[in-house]
Amino acid sequence: MKRPVSRVLRVLLACSLAGAFPAVGAPGEKSAAAGADPVAKIESAGGAVRRIAKGSDALEVDFQFGGAAVTDDHLGVLPALGPVQVLRLKNTRITDAGLAHVGSLKGLKRLHLDGTAITDAGLKHLAGLKELESLNLFGTGITDAGVDALRALPKLRQVFIWQTDISPAAVARLRKDAPGLEVIPDPEAERERAESIGSVSKSALASAEAALAQAKKDVNELAPQAAQLKQSFEAAKALADKAKAKAADARKQADEDARRIEPAVKDAEAAARRAAAATGDAALAAQAQEKARLVAELRERAEKSRQAGDVAKAEDDQARKAFDEARSRSDKAGRAKRVLEQAEVAVASARERVDAATSDAVPLSRAAAEPRSVQKAISNQ
Amino acid sequence: MNDHPDLRLSRREFMRLSAAGVLTGASVPWFESLASAAVKRPRGKSCILLWMDGGPSQQHTFDPKPGGEFKSVPTAVPGIHIVEQLPKLARCMKDMSIIRSMSTEINDHYDAKYYLHTGYKRAPAFEHPAVGCIASSQISIPEGDLPGFVTIDAGNDKGNGGRFYRSVPAYLGPQHAPLAVQSPDRGLENLRNDSADLDARLALLARGEARFAEERPLPAVAAKQAAYERAVRLMRSSRARAFDLDEEPDWLRDAYGRHRFGQSCLLARRMIEAGVSFVEVFHRGWDDHEGAARRIHARAPWMDAGMSMLIRDLKMRGMLDDTLVVWMGEFGRSPGDGGGHFCKAWSTVWAGGGINTGIVVGKTTESGKNAGAAVEERPVSAPDYIATLCTVLGVDPRQEVMAPGNRPMPLADKKATIIKELIA
């Protein structure tokens, strides 16, 4: 039951939205006015129109998979569409002329012009986009001259300039003039990044090498004694086992002796009471005395066996410690080769990282980023 | 309709998300397409899943422990530490988030791979669609030249790690099965169209196929036909160039690392640029029963280079906000040397996609001999993970699809709770 109900709700929602923003066009409206419908025009070039979110009238127009089919002509319908907040024109065939239409989308927040043929002249059309937050110029021919146009955009927070002709000096100036603006990639940040990776990699290599030296030492010094260490470890184990048994016996004896005190005390107290009741009965008095002596004797014995137990426990602890040490040395000797192998892998990996620390310091400008075939052609001359 | 309170985002929340601005609210879920007839691409997001098959050790990567085998070092985000073996990723931390509290019940390779790919536990005589197929069915360009879902084999270290899981679209339809690239270097070499009389031969084939399908209307026949039609469409498309890494400059291929994993990451970026919605790059052999340290020492350099360059490349092209990158395996490794399977407390890493980044979600135990043996805060289940991934991609995880036996199945298990920390 749930599914049909939710579908009905969705259709109702869609209808109510369409009523509120008739310019956008609702499902099914296409056939009625195919030529004039901006959504149909956009879709005919492989584009798509979506709402940014449910309950919002803001639109996203996505041409990024339309490619060469998308031209300046398709941008003409945008102003009639409604409040466009996001416009994706990546890798389309639009030009500077088309940006005149884009410049009239006053609510535009995010604009993708990456991989298009736009130039510095085209960027001037964007001066009125006071809401623009993000601008993608990746892989375009924008130069330092185009950077000036960016200063006119008060809310711009993010600009993508990889593989353009913008110089590091222009980026530095822009960063100074617009401190809230993130320039991606930022040559300065890239340099810091490479430095940090380099220094972390170097210090990791140093500690890996230190660990390797220790591992080598263990292999040289401990490993040859492995058999001997194993023997002494086994001997220590036998001693420890013996000490443990002895400590357990002593403990048991001490407990047993301690347990015997209480009944003897009671017995002695009863005898004392009887002797006190029958004053003058010498036999009873002698009996009470004897029982009191027995209690004293038991107490003494219990104290002795408790002391013996403590001694045995101390011996056991010592034997256990000796055993643990022997075991750890023996283990270390046994594992030394494996640890060394691992330390060698760790050093190799750390060295690889030091060598590759700058392997991802990629060229930032378009000229330096020419593809392989072109580079080859040049280097062969 | 909203009887799953944890998944529900109120109208007010939606308004708040969109009011947050286009940059910060880039992850606003559930776009509504205004397409009149054939929806071109209902949503603008895509995903690259970096699958470390066999179960990578969290304490040797993104959740180091004091006294552990790998040293923990600071990242670009103050307070977040990862192992020193991943210095390039450490510098990408502002663009990544770590979930350290995955807790997923299953310690068996194949069942766990199934669970973490579908969000459902394996059941007899029932197949659930894999997350890549879900993305293909929900956000890819229908009838596009390229498939919605591509898998790339980034090779393997060693043989074990259990039976390999292959993504299955199940009841979403055969057109959402992944296109499998066997090696990033070879691309689609078998799909090159060199034959002059290809059209005539294909027409002949189509006639035979049509007759066969008419006589035997079986799912398997439909699946084969779907795969075939797609292959032909792709072969004729200029977009097939996306599979050719030779179009990339040498310096960029070097930056990604000259390893199959790095090159697979680069190919994945090309796929996303060409319009593929979901790419799964898998590297097999992370089942380190003899201890994770030694193996991860050897893997760290290429993993660090490939994954960090993918994140940076996407970022510098302005694609990162729309492309979610997820790093994970089917579970983690046992505390200490990482010798055992461990589903109780492990890590995944998410980058881009418009999610909140530079944060750590969840926490595992820090001290004691068995540090990391339990989740201390915010456990994340397999259904939670799938539901969150769907939401980030703009897909409503509650949406139901009719499964065999007239059984409406939600894309993610109804028990799922979205990881709200990651979403606006």
Residue pLDDT, tens place only, B160-170:
788 899 999 99
pLDDT in the model for residue A346: 92
Q: Is residue B1 part of a domain?
A: no
In this predicted structure, the answer to whether residue B41 has a pLDDT above a threshold of 90 is no
pLDDT of A6 above 60? no
pLDDT of residue B40 exceeding 50, the answer is: no
> Do A168 and A245 sit in the same domain of this protein?
no
The model's pTM is 0.81
- Taking an 8 Å cut-off on Cβ atoms, the answer to whether B30 and A54 are in contact is yes
Interface of A with B in 284-343 (CB under 8 A): 341-342
Domain CATH for B376: 3.40.720.10
Q: What is the 3-state secondary structure (H, E, C) of chain B?
A: CCCCCCCCCCHHHHHHHHHCCCCCCCCCCCCEECCCCCCCCCCCCEEEEEEEECCCCCCCCCCCCCCCCCCEEECCCCCCEEECCCHHHHCCHHHEEEEEEECCCCCCHHHHHHHHHHCCCCECCECCCCHHHHHHHHHCCCCCCCCCEEEEEEEECCCCCCCCCCCCCHHHCHHHCCEEECCCCCCCHHHCCCCCCHHHHHHHHHHHHHHHHHHCCCHHHHHHHHHHHHHHHHHHCHHHHHHCHHHCCHHHHHHHCCCHHHHHHHHHHHHHHHCCCEEEEEEECCCCCCCHHHHHHHHHHHHHHHHHHHHHHHHHCCCHHHEEEEEECCCEECCCCCCCEECCCEEEEEEECCCCCCCEECEECCCCCCCCCCEEECCECHHHHHHHHHHHCCCCCCCEEEECCCEEEECCCCCCCCCHHHCC
Cα of A30 to nearest chain B Cα, Å: 6
Report d(CA B137, CA B80) in Å as an integer.
37
Q: Residue A276 belongs to what domain range?
A: 203-359
Q: Which residue of A has its CA nearest to B400?
A: A3
Q: What percent of chain B is modeled with pLDDT above 90?
A: 62
Q: Is residue B158 one of the residues assigned to a domain?
A: yes
List pLDDT tens digits, range A47-76. Answer: 888 888 777 788 999 998 888 899 999 999
Of B84, B91, B317, the CB nearest to A162: B317
Report pLDDT digits (tens) over B255-297: 999 999 999 999 999 999 988 999 999 999 999 999 999 999 9
- Chain A residue with CA closest to B26: the answer is A52
What pLDDT band is residue A377 in, cutting at 50, 70 and 90? very low
Residue A138 lies in a domain: yes
pLDDT the model gives residue B34: 56
Question: Chain B: nearest CA to A358, how far in angstroms?
Answer: 9
Instruction: Please determine, for residue B313, whether its predicted confidence score (pLDDT) is greater than 70.
Output: yes
B205 domain-assigned: yes
Binary contact (A371, B249; C-beta < 8 A) = yes
Lowest model confidence (mean pLDDT) among A191-200, B29-38, B107-116, B316-325 = B29-38
Pair (B308, B210) in one structural domain:
no
* Residues A73, B33 contacting (CB under 8 angstroms): no
| B301 interfaces chain A, CB cutoff of 8 Å | yes
pLDDT of residue A362: 87
Residue B263, pLDDT score: 96
pLDDT value at residue B125:
87
The pLDDT mean for chain B works out to 85
Q: Is the pLDDT at A149 greater than 90, yes or no?
A: no
Q: Find the mean pLDDT for residues A144-161.
A: 92
From the candidates B22, B45, B238, B313, which should be mutated to test the interface with A, based on the most A CB atoms within 10 A? B22
Q: Are residues A129 and A162 in the same domain?
A: yes
- Whether B252 contacts chain A with CB within 8 A: yes
Note whether A184 contacts B33, CB cutoff 8 Å. Answer: no
Same domain, A128 and A226: no
**pLDDT higher for B317 or B158?**
B317
A1 located within any domain: no
pLDDT in tens, B370-379: 899 999 999 9
Host domain of residue B11 = 6-37
Any A CB within 8 A of B136 CB: no
How many structural domains comprise chain A?
Answer: 2
Does B73 share its domain with B94? yes
Distance CA B305, CA B321 (A): 21
Q: What pLDDT was estimated at residue A190?
A: 93
Q: What is the pLDDT of residue A345?
A: 92
Enumerate the residues of chain A whose CB falls inside 8 A of the CB of residue B24: none
A183 and A269 belong to one structural domain: no
Residue of B4 and A193 predicted with greater confidence: A193
Q: Is A4 in the B-facing interface, judged by CB distances under 8 Å?
A: no
Q: Determine the distance in angstroms separating the CA of B320 from the nearest CA of chain A, rounded to an integer.
A: 12
What is the reported pLDDT for B184? 87
Q: Is residue A46 part of a domain?
A: yes
Higher model confidence: residue A68 or residue A140? Answer: A140
Instruction: Tell me if chain A has a CB within 8 Å of the CB of B86.
Output: no
In a domain, A34, yes or no: yes
ipTM of the complex: 0.85
**In this structure, is the dihedral angle defined by the CA atoms of residues A7, A10, A16 and A20, taken in order, positive or negative?**
negative
* Contact at CB, A341 and B71, closer than 8 angstroms: no
* B11 & B72 share domain: no
User: Same structural domain for residues B51 and B181?
Assistant: yes
* Within a domain: A198: no
- Give the pLDDT confidence score for residue A340 in this predicted structure: 92
Same domain, yes or no, for B212 and B307?
no
Mean pLDDT within B64-73: 92
Confirm whether A364 is domain-assigned.
no
pLDDT at B15: 38
Alpha carbon of A233: minimum distance to chain B alpha carbons (Å): 24
- pLDDT at site A222: 84
Are residues B412 and B361 located together in one domain of the fold? yes
**Contact between residue A174 and residue A147 where contact means Cβ atoms under 8 Å apart:** yes
**What CATH number does residue A103 fall under?**
3.80.10.10
How far is the C-alpha of B274 from the C-alpha of B34, rounded, in Å?
A: 22
Domain check: are A16 and A151 in the same one? yes
Which residues on A lie below 8 Å from B252 (Cβ)? 362
Given this model, what pLDDT does residue B270 score? 95
Q: How many domains does chain B have?
A: 3
The answer as to whether B28 is a domain residue is yes
User: Span A320-330, mean pLDDT?
Assistant: 89
Least confident of A153-157, A325-329, B153-157, B224-228: B224-228
Average pLDDT over residues A119-145: 96
End position of a domain, from candidates B242, B277, B305? B242
Q: How far is C-alpha A362 from the geometric centre of its chain's CA atoms?
A: 24
Whether residues A161 and A52 share a domain: the answer is yes
Q: Are residues A186 and A208 in the same domain?
A: no
Order the strands of the B46-53 sheet from edge to edge: B179-181, B149-156, B278-284, B46-53, B323-328, B346-352, B96-102, B360-361
- Does A270 share its domain with A183? no
- Is there a single domain that holds both residue A186 and residue A212? no
**Min CA distance, B309 vs chain A (Å)?**
7
Are residues A275 and A306 both part of a single domain?
Answer: yes
Higher-pLDDT residue of B63 and B227 is B63
Same domain assignment for residues B66 and B156? yes
How far away is chain A from the Cα of B11, in angstroms, using its nearest Cα?
7
* Residue A313 domain flag: yes
Q: Which of A44, A52, A131, A199 should we substitute to test contact with B (largest number of B Cβ atoms within 10 Å)?
A: A52
Q: Is B11 on the interface with A (CB under 8 A)?
A: yes
Answer yes or no: do B286 and B176 share one domain.
yes
Task: Note whether A100 and A179 are same-domain residues.
Answer: yes
Residues of A in contact with B31 (CB under 8 A): 50-53, 60
Do B211 and B282 have their domain in common? no
- Cβ-defined contact of B14 to A56 (cutoff 8 Å): yes
* Contact between chains at B71 and A200 (C-beta distance less than 8 A): no
Distance CA B206, CA B199 (A): 10
Q: Kindly state whether residues B300 and B392 are assigned to the same domain.
A: yes
A313 shares its domain with A174 = no
User: Are the Cβ atoms of A50 and B84 closer than 8 angstroms?
Assistant: no
Whether B180 and B274 map to the same domain: the answer is: yes
- Residue with more model confidence, B409 or A26: B409
Best to test chain B binding among A11, A362, A373, A380 (most B CBs inside 10 Å):
A362
A338 closest CA partner among B69, B61, B66, B60: B69
In this structure, the number of other CB atoms found within 10 A of the CB of residue A134 comes to 24
Length of chain A: 381
